[in-house]
Structure 1
Amino acid sequence: MGQIILSTESGADIPSDLAEKHKIQVVPMHIIMDGRDYLDGSLPVQEIYDYYTRTKQIPTTTSTNVYEYEQFFTKIRKQYPGCTIIHIGYTSKASSSFQHAVIASEEFEDLHLIDALNVTGGLAAIVLYAAELLGRSPDVNAKQLLQEIEEVVPKTRLAFIPGSLEFLKAGGRVSNTASLVGTLLKIKPCIELKDGNLMSTKKYRGKVMGAAEKLLRDYLSAFDLDTRQLYMIYSIGLDEKVKQRMEVIAEEYGFHHTTWIQAGAMISTHSGPGGFGVAGLER
């Protein structure tokens, strides 16, 4: 049986050391800024925030196209001859990337696609779960591995608070009135993935430290999560004291290992600087 190779998009924000450790192949999505097309991963996130400061505009994002997927899957096949590819994709409810992967896959055998119905740390949690399964049982049957991955997709929970309502307003994601009221009242919306869709579910009032703590406690109380692994997501600008406090709270709830994931350029164009999120898998 050939080797199984896992792949995903850059919107998973998988830390490079973990991608390298597990041989996870990552195809870049796109950032369009100031008339130029940048591959996600090649553009420093800080440049996005600097661009917004100068222009009061945010970049746009585009999905990986069919041709890029064809080239991506071909490259994997050349690097790992005879392999089976399992591609775990960015939610189809928020991007056309997964559909493009479906079209490209028609030219390949032993290529399987799973819609993770998740983004950033939620998508990373699924991919890394698959990597751990594969690491423990390298001779696992592809069909069995696919089934185990598909079973964990609906058990994956992601919630986050964006760093800037002003940033969301600039991207047309909240109305001017909602943004103004939110700024005046220091309200931070909680965004969750529901069936693959990004939805505002709660609102937290106050500074980032207090809002992040309320979010994390609500999240950890709401779900029966696997305590072996928790993923916390941050965008550039989140105070280190907030990160330290979140680790303390995670330990209070019995989590044995926390991995921090920095939001890349793709996700940061939607969340702004100083955001915080959390992702994990239900038992």
Structure 2
Amino acid sequence: MRKIILSTESGADLPEDLAVKYAIQVVPMHVIMDDQDYLDGSLPVMDIYDYYDRTKKIPSTTATNVHEYEQFFAKIKADFPDCIIIHIGYTSQASSSFQNAVIAAEEMDDLILIDALNVTGGLAAIVMNAARLLEKEPMIEPTRLVEQIEAMVPKSRLAFVPGSLEFLRAGGRVSNLAYLGGALLKIKPCIELIQGKLVSTKKYRGKIDGVAEKLMREYLAQYDIDREQLYLIYSIGLDKAVMQRMDQIAEENGFKHVKWIQAGAMISTHAGPGGFGIAGLEV
């Protein structure tokens, strides 16, 4: 049986230890700051926050381009001859990255692309579930694995509250953020992925400790998340006491494994410091 290799983008914020353990290949997206192009993962997140403090501007982000995908897939083929690549991509509704992968794949064989319609922890949840399925059944037929991954896509649930609304507003990636109106800087919106789009679904008031707890409790009440694994996302600046409280709530709700994911430079450019999110797969 030919080896199956999983790949994804840096916008999944997949922790390095998991990427290494499961041999998941990660292609970087881009952050543009001071007219310089940085590969996501090579730029310390604190540099983004320092840049904003200094200039009151946020960096811009760009997708992985077609040429980069061609090189990325070619290297996987060189490293793992005769493999089959299953690429689980960042939502096509918020970036051109997936479409660029589609173009790059036109001249390649044994390469399957899946639009995860999700980002950060929501994308990571799908990738990691696929990796564990492959670990349990390494001889699985690629078509059957693809079917199972595609079935996960509508079950992946991501919700987060940004740490800085100025970052979110400047980023302009949330489709209906305008409805928040003049109260924008006084509230914390809950952002969820709806059919692949980042949508503001609720709004909370108060400090992040109370907001994070309310978000988590409402999320767990709304979605029947598989108790095997929960992903909690933070951007640098989130108080450790908040993180400890979220761990307690996860334990109270019967989650067997909880994995914290730090938002990388690309995601942090839009979410800002001190944000919190939660992701998992519905049963």
State the TM-score bracket (shorter-chain normalisation). Answer: over 0.9
Partner residue of 1:120?
120
CA distance in structure 1 between the partners assigned to 2:170 and 2:113 by the alignment: 34
Q: Distance in 1 between matches of 2:184 and 2:30?
A: 30
Corresponding residue for 1:229? 229
1:105 aligns with 2:108: no
Name 2:135's counterpart in structure 1: 135
The TM-score with structure 1 as length reference comes to: 0.96
| Gap runs ≥5 in structure 2 | none
Contact 1:121 1:261 (8 Å CA) reproduced: yes
Superposition pairs for residues 54-69 of structure 1, below 5 Å? 54-69=54-69
Distance in 2 separating the partners of 1:30 and 1:172: 17
Cα offset, 1:167, TM superposition = 2.1
1-structure distance, mates of 2:190, 2:199: 8
In the alignment, the residues of structure 2 paired with residue 230 and residue 53 of structure 1 have an alpha-carbon distance, to the nearest angstrom, of: 33
Whether 1:196 aligns to 2:196 is yes
1:254 aligns with 2:232: no
Number of paired residues? 280
Paired position in structure 2 for 1:12: 12
- Indicate the SS of the match to 2:224: coil
8 Å Cα contact 1:122-1:157 kept in structure 2: yes
Output the CA distance in 2 between the equivalents of 1:68 and 1:276. Answer: 31
Aligned to 2:33: 33
Contact kept, 8 Å, 1:121 with 1:231, in 2: the verdict is: yes
Q: Tell me the distance in 1 between the aligned counterparts of 2:10 and 2:172.
A: 23
Cα drift, residue 233 of structure 1: 0.3
Name the CA distance, whole Å, in 2 between partners of 1:167 and 1:135.
39
Separation in structure 2 between the aligned mates of residue 275 and residue 165 of structure 1, nearest angstrom = 10
* Alpha-carbon distance in structure 1 between the residues aligned to 2:228 and 2:167: 34
- Please give the per-residue CA displacement for 1:66-108, whole angstroms capped at 9, x wherever unaligned: 0000000000000000000000000000000000000111111
Aligned counterpart for 1:181 among listed residues 178, 183, 192: 183
Task: Give the distance between the partners of 2:156 and 2:97, measured in 1 at CA.
Answer: 20
> SS at 1:77's partner residue?
helix
**Residue 165 of structure 1: how far off its partner (Å):** 1.3
The 8 Å contact of residues 57 and 171 in structure 1, kept in 2 or not, is answered as no
The answer as to whether partners of 1:56 and 1:170 remain within 8 angstroms in 2 is: no
Indicate the residue corresponding to 1:44 in structure 2.
Answer: 44
CA distance in structure 1 between the aligned counterparts of 2:8 and 2:127, rounded to whole angstroms = 8
Tell me how far 1:170 sits from its aligned partner.
Answer: 3.3
1:249-283 CA deviation, whole Å, 9 max, x = no partner? 11111111100000001100110000000000000
User: Counterpart in 2 of 1:205?
Assistant: 205
5+ long unaligned stretches in structure 1: none
Note the C-alpha offset of 1:133. 0.2
Instruction: Specify the alignment match of 2:74 in structure 1.
Output: 74
Letter in 1 for 2:130: A
Distance, in Å, in 2 between the alignment partners of 1:243 and 1:85 is 36
| Corresponding residue number in structure 2 for 1:240 | 240
TM-score normalised to the size of structure 2? 0.96
Matches of 2:114 and 2:131, distance apart in 1: 14
Cα distance in 1 for residues equivalent to 2:145 and 2:171: 39
**Matches of 2:230 and 2:37, distance apart in 1:** 33
